[in-house]
């Protein structure tokens, strides 16, 4: 029975990380469109070995795109460095800024709120 468990672990990630730890949620704000973005990085499949040994053991780069909902299209690039336990030790964002989960919720509420009537121009 041990043989089959080990074989199954090869294909399922070996129980090394829980399912909630496998996916890393990323929260961003597009600088150009002022739109909050959310995405995920799969720690088992999307990390590469880092070439810079001093910064971390693993590296990931991902590009997130805005929805275009307000006729604004933009991309935000994120570079992440991870330690040997696949925890984020450093991040760099191009075209936007990094948000925490609570900040993302506030920005999402602002973005989805109806436009303020006092700022609309009469035609």
The predicted-structure confidence for 50-94, as pLDDT tens digits, reads as follows 876 566 799 999 999 999 888 999 999 999 999 999 999 999 999
Which structure tokens are listed for 63?
A: 């590009």
The yes-or-no verdict on residue 28 having pLDDT over 60 is yes
The yes-or-no verdict on residue 32 having pLDDT over 50 is yes
Give the separation between CA 7 and CA 112, rounded to whole angstroms.
47
Identify whether the C-beta of residue 63 lies closer than 8 Å to the C-beta of residue 76. yes
Quick one: which H or E segment has residue 70?
none
Give the separation between CA 40 and CA 15, rounded to whole angstroms.
20
pLDDT of residue 10: 60
Q: What is the mean pLDDT of residues 15-28?
A: 76
Q: What is the mean pLDDT of residues 21-42?
A: 94
């Amino acid at each position: 029975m041990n043989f089959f468990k080990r074989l199954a672990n090869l294909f399922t990630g070996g129980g090394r990380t829980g399912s909630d730890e496998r996916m890393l949620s990323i929260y961003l704000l597009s600088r150009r469109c002022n739109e909050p973005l959310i995405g995920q990085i799969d720690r088992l499949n999307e990390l590469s070995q880092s070439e810079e040994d001093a910064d971390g053991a693993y590296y990931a780069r991902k590009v997130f795109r805005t929805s275009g909902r307000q006729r604004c299209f933009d991309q935000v690039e994120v570079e992440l460095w991870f330690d040997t336990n696949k925890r984020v030790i450093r991040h760099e964002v191009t075209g936007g800024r990094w948000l925490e989960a609570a900040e993302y919720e506030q920005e999402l509420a602002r973005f989805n709120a109806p436009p303020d009537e006092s700022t609309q121009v009469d035609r």
